[in-house]
C-alpha cells in the first residue's frame, strides 16, 4: 500500500475505533508522530490573516472557505470525523471520558471543551446540533436548539484563555447542515443572527475574532450575502465590504521545495486534473455543472466526470448541444493567476523546462505557455476525431465546429437545433468524437510528436545528471485516478536517477489536495521527494516567491 493509502487506512481506522478499546502510550506516541508528519506538509492559514466582514463592539466577524483543520490559532467546534482524524485518538478518548463522567448523553444545544491535541488549535469546543430527517422542515424547537449551539460555544469560549498576542479566536463550521439535514440557508441566518446578538449583548466580551468557516462555495457565498444584507440597528455593528482572501503560511515542505527549485538546472511540470480544478474548472463540482449545464440535470448528470462514457442521450442534437457547450466553456475559460504564477517559475528555466499534462483543456497554451514545450498524451479538446478511426489523419480542429454551432444552441434546452451542424468525418462521413483518451477508439497521432520531444528531454536530463546537474519534477494536482500516466512515471524517474547518479539528481515536488500532495515516505526520507498539501493557488504562489 502506498503512503497515502496507509494514511487513509489510519484515518478510517481511527474514525471507526471505539474509545472503549484503549491504546498503549507507545502506540499513541507513534500515531502522534504520523499525524504531526502529515500536518507539517499542509499549508496553514493564520487566523489573523482572514479579513473580517463585520465588527460588533470589539469583536471581528469573518467568513472563510477552507479546511478548518489547517486554520491556526482558533478553537474549533467539532465536525466529527474531520476534526477527530486530524486531532488523533486522544480527542475521542477525551470526549468518551467526559461522557462517562457525566453519565448521560450531551443535551442538544449544549457545549463541552477538550484540548486540541494534534490540531493547530489548543482547544476544541464540541456541541450537539439538532438532527432533522431527510426533507423535514425545522420546527421552532429545532431553530432554538441551533441558536443555543452558537450561544453555548461562545459562552464556553469566553471562559478559555487568550492567545499570547491577546486575541481570542473561535471558528464555527456550518452546524447541523451536513448529515443532520438542517437547511443551509436557514442555518446560516440563525448562525449570523445569534452570533451578532450575542456580541451586542456581551459588549465586554474577551472574544476578539469569530470566523464562520465554510467548505463549499455555495455556503461561502451564502454567509457573505447574508452578512452584506444584515440590517442591525445597533450602532456598534459595522458591515465591511468583502476583501481579498488570506494568504496561507508556508510549511516546512514549501521551504524545501523552493530551495530545490532554486538549485535546479531543469524543470519538468507534471500536471493533472487538480491543477484545472484549482482554477475553478473542477470536473467533480456539482455547482459548476449546474451553473453551465442546467438542461442536462434531468439526465442524471451532476458532474463533468459523469459524462465520460455516458450513452443516455435522447438525440444527436442533445449530445452535441452538451459537447459544444462544454468545448465553448473550456475555450473561453478566463486567464488564471495560478497559471501566471506557474509561468513565472517556468521562465527561470526557459528551454530547460517541459510540461507533460493529462489535462485536455488546453489551459497551458491559453495562459501563454508555448505549445512546443507541452506534451498531452491523453489528448486535447482542441481536436475532434473520427470515432471509427477510418484513417490516422482523421483528426480535425474543434474550434470551427464550435463556432459554427454556437448560434444554433437553444438557450433553454441547450440542444443543437440545426442537424447540419452535427460534426462528421470528412473522409468517411462517420461520427466524430472528442480526441481524448476514453477507450480504444482514441487516435493519439496528433500527440506522438510531442511525446517524442518529451522523451528526448528526459534523456538529456538523465545525461546531465551524470555530470552533476539537477532537475525538479513539479507535479501539480496529480491524484490516483490514472497514476500510470504521470504519478508513477515521476516516481520512477526520481528512483532511476538516484540509482544512476548516487541520489539527488532528480527531485520530486508533489503538490495538491489529499493524495495529490503526498509522496512516498521512502523518497522523502531519501531527500529526493517532498509533498505539499494545500490549494494549488497558494502553493504555486509561494513556490514562485510571491
SS3 string, 328-394, reads HHHHCCCCCHHHHHHHHHHHCCHHHEEEEECCCCCHHHHCCCCHHHEECCCEEEEEEEECCCCCCCC
Q: What is the pLDDT of residue 55?
A: 77
534 lies in some domain: yes
Q: What is the pLDDT of residue 497?
A: 82
How does residue 110 score in pLDDT terms, banded at 50, 70 and 90? very high
Q: Is the pLDDT of residue 242 over 90?
A: no
Question: What region, left, alpha or beta, does residue 527 occupy, with left being phi > 0 and alpha being psi -120 to 50 degrees?
Answer: left
Cell numbers given for 397: 480542429
Query: Average of pLDDT values for 365-378?
Result: 97
Q: Is there a single domain that holds both residue 372 and residue 343?
A: yes
Q: What percent of the chain has pLDDT over 90?
A: 65
Name the helix (H) or strand (E) containing 396.
Answer: strand 395-397
Q: Is the pLDDT of residue 214 over 70?
A: yes
**Using the 8-state DSSP alphabet, how is residue 178 labeled?**
S
Q: Is there a single domain that holds both residue 260 and residue 149?
A: no
Cell numbers given for 83: 476534526
What distance in Å separates the CA atoms of residue 249 and residue 48, rounded to the nearest whole number? 11
Q: Is the pLDDT of residue 74 over 80?
A: no
Q: Is there a single domain that holds both residue 383 and residue 373?
A: no
Q: Is the pLDDT of residue 228 over 90?
A: no
How many other CB atoms are found less than 10 A from the CB of residue 412?
A: 8
How does residue 220 score in pLDDT terms, banded at 50, 70 and 90? confident
The alpha carbon dihedral of 21, 24, 27, 28 has a sign of: positive
Query: Average of pLDDT values for 229-258?
Result: 72
Average per-residue pLDDT in the chain? 90
Q: Is there a single domain that holds both residue 367 and residue 259?
A: yes
How many other CB atoms are found less than 10 A from the CB of residue 8?
A: 16
Q: Is there a single domain that holds both residue 435 and residue 456?
A: no
Q: Is there a single domain that holds both residue 427 and residue 354?
A: no
175 lies in some domain: yes
- Phi/psi for 354 (5° steps) reads -150, 150
What distance in Å separates the CA atoms of residue 264 and residue 258, rounded to the nearest whole number? 10
Nearest to 261 by CA among 532, 474, 459, 467: 474
What distance in Å separates the CA atoms of residue 206 and residue 324, rounded to the nearest whole number? 56
Query: Average of pLDDT values for 384-397?
Result: 96
Q: What is the pLDDT of residue 38?
A: 87
Most confident of 74-78, 113-117, 404-408, 461-465: 404-408
User: Tell me: the pLDDT tens digits for 260-282?
Assistant: 999 999 999 999 999 999 999 99
Q: What is the pLDDT of residue 78?
A: 45
Q: Is the pLDDT of residue 79 over 70?
A: no
- Phi/psi for 200 (5° steps) reads -65, -40
Q: What is the pLDDT of residue 19?
A: 84
Coil, strand or helix: which one is 424? strand
Q: Is there a single domain that holds both residue 90 and residue 146?
A: yes
User: Number of folded domains in the chain?
Assistant: 3
Q: Is the pLDDT of residue 373 over 70?
A: yes
364 lies in some domain: yes
Cell numbers given for 264: 535546479
Q: Is the pLDDT of residue 13 over 70?
A: yes
Query: Average of pLDDT values for 455-466?
Result: 94
Domain limit, last residue, from 421, 443, 465: 443
Identify the residue with better confidence: 248 or 116: 116
Cell numbers given for 465: 545528471
Q: Is the pLDDT of residue 14 over 90?
A: no
Query: Average of pLDDT values for 118-139?
Result: 89
Domain limit, last residue, from 428, 443, 458: 443
Q: Which CATH number does the domain housing residue 435 bear?
A: 3.30.1600
How far CA 307 is from CA of 212, 275, 439, 529, in Å, comes to 35, 20, 14, 35
Q: What is the pLDDT of residue 21?
A: 84
Q: Which CATH number does the domain housing residue 472 bear?
A: 3.40.50.1220
289 lies in some domain: no
Q: Is there a single domain that holds both residue 158 and residue 216?
A: yes
Q: Is residue 408 within 8 Å of 454, Cβ to Cβ?
A: no
Structural domain that includes position 466: 250-281+333-377+445-546
Q: What is the pLDDT of residue 77?
A: 45
244 lies in some domain: no
Q: Is there a single domain that holds both residue 52 and residue 65?
A: yes
Query: Average of pLDDT values for 517-538?
Result: 92
pTM of the model: 0.86
Q: Which CATH number does the domain housing residue 203 bear?
A: 3.40.220.10
Q: What is the pLDDT of residue 498?
A: 74
Domain limit, last residue, from 386, 419, 443: 443
Residue owning grid cell 463522567? 101
Query: Average of pLDDT values for 133-159?
Result: 93
Q: What is the pLDDT of residue 236?
A: 57
How far CA 295 is from CA of 239, 511, 536, in Å, comes to 38, 35, 31
Q: Is the pLDDT of residue 65 over 90?
A: no
319 lies in some domain: yes
Q: How far, rounded to the nearest angstrom, does the alpha carbon of residue 456 sit from its chain's CA centroid?
A: 34
Amino acid at each position: 500500500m502506498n503512503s497515502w493509502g496507509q494514511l487513509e487506512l489510519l484515518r478510517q481506522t481511527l474514525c471507526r475505533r471505539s474509545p472503549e478499546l484503549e491504546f498503549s502510550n507507545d502506540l499513541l506516541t507513534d500515531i502522534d508522530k504520523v499525524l504531526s508528519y502529515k500536518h507539517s506538509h499542509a499549508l496553514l492559514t493564520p487566523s489573523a490573516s482572514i479579513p473580517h466582514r463585520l465588527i460588533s463592539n470589539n469583536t471581528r466577524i469573518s467568513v472563510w472557505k477552507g479546511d478548518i483543520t489547517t486554520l491556526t490559532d482558533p478553537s474549533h467546534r467539532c465536525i466529527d470525523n474531520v476534526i477527530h482524524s486530524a486531532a488523533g485518538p486522544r480527542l475521542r478518548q477525551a470526549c468518551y471520558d467526559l461522557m462517562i463522567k457525566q453519565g448521560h448523553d450531551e443535551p442538544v444545544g449544549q457545549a463541552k471543551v477538550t484540548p486540541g491535541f494534534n490540531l493547530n488549535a489548543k482547544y476544541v469546543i464540541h456541541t450537539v446540533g439538532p438532527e432533522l430527517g431527510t426533507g423535514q422542515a425545522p420546527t421552532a424547537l429545532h431553530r432554538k436548539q441551533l441558536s443555543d449551539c452558537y450561544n453555548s460555544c461562545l459562552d464556553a469560549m469566553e471562559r478559555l484563555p487568550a492567545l499570547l498576542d491577546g486575541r481570542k479566536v473561535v471558528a464555527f463550521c456550518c452546524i447541523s447542515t451536513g448529515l443532520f439535514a438542517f437547511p443551509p440557508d436557514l442555518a446560516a441566518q440563525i448562525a449570523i443572527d445569534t452570533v451578532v446578538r450575542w456580541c451586542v449583548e456581551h459588549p465586554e466580551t474577551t472574544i476578539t475574532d469569530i470566523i464562520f468557516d465554510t467548505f463549499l462555495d455555495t455556503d461561502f457565498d451564502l454567509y457573505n450575502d447574508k452578512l452584506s444584507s444584515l440590517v442591525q440597528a445597533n450602532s456598534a455593528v459595522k458591515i465591511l465590504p468583502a476583501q481579498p482572501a488570506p494568504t496561507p503560511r508556508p510549511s516546512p515542505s514549501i521551504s524545501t521545495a523552493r530551495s530545490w527549485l532554486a538549485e535546479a538546472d531543469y524543470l519538468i511540470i507534471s500536471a493533472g486534473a487538480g491543477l484545472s480544478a484549482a482554477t475553478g474548472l473542477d470536473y467533480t463540482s456539482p455547482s459548476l455543472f449546474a451553473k453551465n449545464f442546467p438542461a442536462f440535470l434531468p439526465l442524471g448528470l451532476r458532474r463533468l466526470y459523469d459524462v465520460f462514457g455516458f450513452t443516455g442521450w435522447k438525440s444527436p442534437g442533445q449530445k452535441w448541444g452538451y459537447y459544444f457547450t462544454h468545448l465553448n466553456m473550456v475555450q473561453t475559460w478566463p486567464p488564471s493567476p495560478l497559471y501566471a504564477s506557474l509561468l513565472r517559475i517556468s521562465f527561470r528555466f526557459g528551454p530547460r523546462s517541459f510540461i507533460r499534462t493529462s489535462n485536455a483543456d488546453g489551459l497551458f497554451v491559453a495562459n501563454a505557455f508555448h505549445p512546443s514545450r507541452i506534451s498531452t498524451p491523453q489528448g486535447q479538446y482542441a481536436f475532434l476525431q473520427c470515432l471509427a478511426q477510418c484513417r490516422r489523419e482523421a483528426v480535425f480542429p474543434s474550434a470551427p465546429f464550435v463556432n459554427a454551432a454556437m448560434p444554433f444552441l437553444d438557450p433553454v434546452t441547450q440542444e443543437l437545433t440545426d442537424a447540419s451542424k452535427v460534426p462528421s468525418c470528412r473522409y468517411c462521413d462517420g461520427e466524430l468524437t472528442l480526441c481524448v483518451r476514453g477507450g480504444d477508439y482514441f487516435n493519439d497521432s496528433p500527440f506522438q510528436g510531442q511525446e517524442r520531444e518529451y522523451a528526448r528531454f528526459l534523456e538529456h536530463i538523465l545525461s546531465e545528471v551524470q555530470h552533476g546537474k539537477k532537475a525538479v519534477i513539479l507535479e501539480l494536482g496529480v491524484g490516483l485516478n490514472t497514476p500510470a500516466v504521470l504519478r508513477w512515471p515521476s516516481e520512477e524517474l526520481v528512483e532511476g536517477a538516484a540509482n544512476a547518479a548516487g541520489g539527488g539528481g532528480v527531485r520530486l515536488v508533489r503538490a495538491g489536495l489529499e493524495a495529490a500532495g503526498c509522496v512516498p515516505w521512502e523518497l522523502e526520507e531519501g531527500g529526493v521527494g517532498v509533498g505539499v498539501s494545500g490549494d494549488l493557488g497558494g502553493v504555486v504562489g509561494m513556490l514562485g516567491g510571491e
